[in-house]
Structure 1
């Protein structure tokens, strides 16, 4: 008699699941939408409604930087201290009241008007990148288009001066580096702090001309924020707004190429751009999980999650839950899926969501307006070896220029 393997998200590292995790999620969800993953030592939640509810449940906490750091050996704690300090002041790793206070540093500035101000910046960078490649008839969507696009947008938004923009290249995510106990990003963070400090006086006075100064000027002058707190959330803009958006665009292009009817529909109906962006985020998000810690015992679908245990909310699974979305494995750019889970829910809903959606929408519209007969130049694109982040290593495509 065969022994059934214990369910675990770590099986996503298996080659048959790595390229497409969604069938695996479906099997897990049908077996048990809530289960304890012994290999990950975390409770796993797979259904849309449960993820949505738990994302807004104050009994779960995102504050996990300090506890992870404290459990490390003394030498590792010392080496990771600079990274830990930067992460510890980011709003996403706190709960109210400190989360509210830190979120209020940036949230009031991210108005619809501010996003409208950013759209011409996104359009300008998008067009300049396409100008470089349209005559060639081929490009790598990640390396030639989406990564330099998001880097350029974030550099302008965060106020990174031209001489320091190279510090944003090949950004992969500070949280990932921290939990992997990697020291390689510490020199980059240190250098960015030096660049940040160069503009401290103008930023405090509200006289800086960059978008970041405009974004926080009123809050900094009215609130009592330390330079460490302002820097940490400057880093958060870079960390959250670059790599994940780079790969949202890459995953969206791949999905459209594999669904040519939807690609042609979007080309013919650019007015569907906003709906299409949200549907593409639902269909294949670049972030698959988010993790919380239970502050008290919590009952979910008849399972009791004990206090202090880890809870993994599988956003990618919830986005394909048939209880929420009809025919969820079908890409439908007219669906209207703005309630997807890719940006989270509740107080930890991504502050940069509107900007990310604008980047996806503008990038796809320009790409489809200026190219035709878009096709993959490899049979199977390769994914980075990480089960939480759906990041392509590259996405080479061929096309013809629209005359």
Structure 2
């Protein structure tokens, strides 16, 4: 397969992007994508080098948005909220805030502590589906499980979670490192204002009745000077809700689709559920939701023989790296016995996903319970059209009908 490098636009979603990724890696593993205004890297080795070099590369979120939208972006609610989220920060600010969340998500002990709660949330969702012959894997299952889990961790009333999730969906596109159009930003601004109002009220209420939840811990950290101000606290409450829900929903849906596209591997997982931990890593490698991360440097850098000027933005095509044949043998084959190492699914370096252990556990428990409770489940189609995917760089299905 040959593609026109000059016209390639990573913002345009594809139902199957992987042949394009292979062509990019073969023709130009580093190239300037003029339609998107970014440098694109599709080599696993080069991406790993960039993600591991936190001294040279960073998020540079403020510079990115100002360079694309002008100084007027400072007036937009989405920008003011996201610039205060720790995963958009670099250097000292990132190091200041990240430890406040680490104990809630990182380490095998914390994963074991959260397991009974995750199992309970998964069981509740499956119980609610028990009398339905058909349902939507995305909306009725993959969406519900992480939504309830993160609500429980934060201490957000479950009755409020659906309303919050609707607004979260409108802000998701502005997280991406490629340019956004005016309508996307308008919807995000509206959702941000509504979410700020909700969480501001919840913080005020929780101050009067603290509990053993992440929100209470964040309030206590703020009172002790951990957050610069109330706006930074609110931004990171919203980050926890967004990061703990949106990406896990997408990953669970893609995993179900991948298994049904590969019935031999689905049968293997049913016969040998003990392989679930490594199976989850392989499923995320094979078809993951994180298709691209952005990095930038304050100085000129040489990547794959190309000089990239200071301040330019580099899009790391994670989906391409996870199918790189130099790292993964027969990369287009789903092999649940592979036990893949050095996947890029959760990023790397200082910005490695802080919730990766929780996400893996939700996927393990969510898939295992679904296979056990709905052993005859079958999808209406294993080839969903592009209209069933979100129109974004983040790879996510909006619907996946099933029965059985």
Q: What TM-score do the two structures reach when normalised by structure 1?
A: 0.89
Match of 2:33 among 37, 42, 45: 37
Instruction: Provide the aligned C-alpha RMSD in A.
Output: 2.5
Q: How far apart are the structure 1 equivalents of 2:362 and 2:222?
A: 27
Q: What TM-score do the two structures reach when normalised by structure 2?
A: 0.88
Matches within 5 A, 1:4-403: 5-10=4-9, 13=12, 18-57=14-53, 58-69=55-66, 71-72=68-69, 78=75, 80=76, 82-111=77-106, 112-170=108-166, 171-172=168-169, 174=171, 176-177=173-174, 179-181=180-182, 182-200=185-203, 208-213=210-215, 216=218, 219-220=221-222, 222-225=224-227, 226-378=229-381, 380-382=383-385, 383-399=388-404
Q: Identify the range of structure 1 (311-320 vs 130-139) with the bigger mean alpha-carbon deviation.
A: 130-139
Instruction: Report if aligned partners of 1:87, 1:175 keep a CA contact under 8 Å in 2.
Output: no
Secondary structure, in 3 states, of the residue corresponding to 1:84?
helix
After superposition, give the CA deviation of every residue in 1:60-98 in whole Å (9 maximum; x if it has no partner).
2202235414653676653x2x22111011112111111
Instruction: Label 1:394 to 1:175 Cα distance change in 2 as closer, same or farther (>3 A).
Output: closer
Give the gaps of 5 or more residues in structure 1: none
Q: How far apart are the structure 1 equivalents of 2:94 and 2:11?
A: 32
Instruction: Report if aligned partners of 1:62, 1:291 keep a CA contact under 8 Å in 2.
Output: yes
Q: How many residues align?
A: 391
Secondary structure, in 3 states, of the residue corresponding to 2:69?
coil
Q: Identify the range of structure 1 (109-118 vs 53-62) with the bigger mean alpha-carbon deviation.
A: 109-118
After superposition, give the CA deviation of every residue in 1:243-297 in whole Å (9 maximum; x if it has no partner).
1110100000000001111111111211111111111111111120111222111
Instruction: Report if aligned partners of 1:164, 1:195 keep a CA contact under 8 Å in 2.
Output: no
Secondary structure, in 3 states, of the residue corresponding to 1:184?
helix
Instruction: Report if aligned partners of 1:34, 1:300 keep a CA contact under 8 Å in 2.
Output: yes
Q: How far apart are the structure 2 equivalents of 1:192 and 1:368?
A: 35
After superposition, give the CA deviation of every residue in 1:305-356 in whole Å (9 maximum; x if it has no partner).
1111110100000000011111111111121125311110000101111111
Q: How far apart are the structure 2 equivalents of 1:310 and 1:322?
A: 26
**Offset of residue 384 of structure 1:** 2.6
Q: How far apart are the structure 2 equivalents of 1:377 and 1:126?
A: 23
Give the gaps of 5 or more residues in structure 2: none
After superposition, give the CA deviation of every residue in 1:348-389 in whole Å (9 maximum; x if it has no partner).
101111111111111100011112233221363133353511
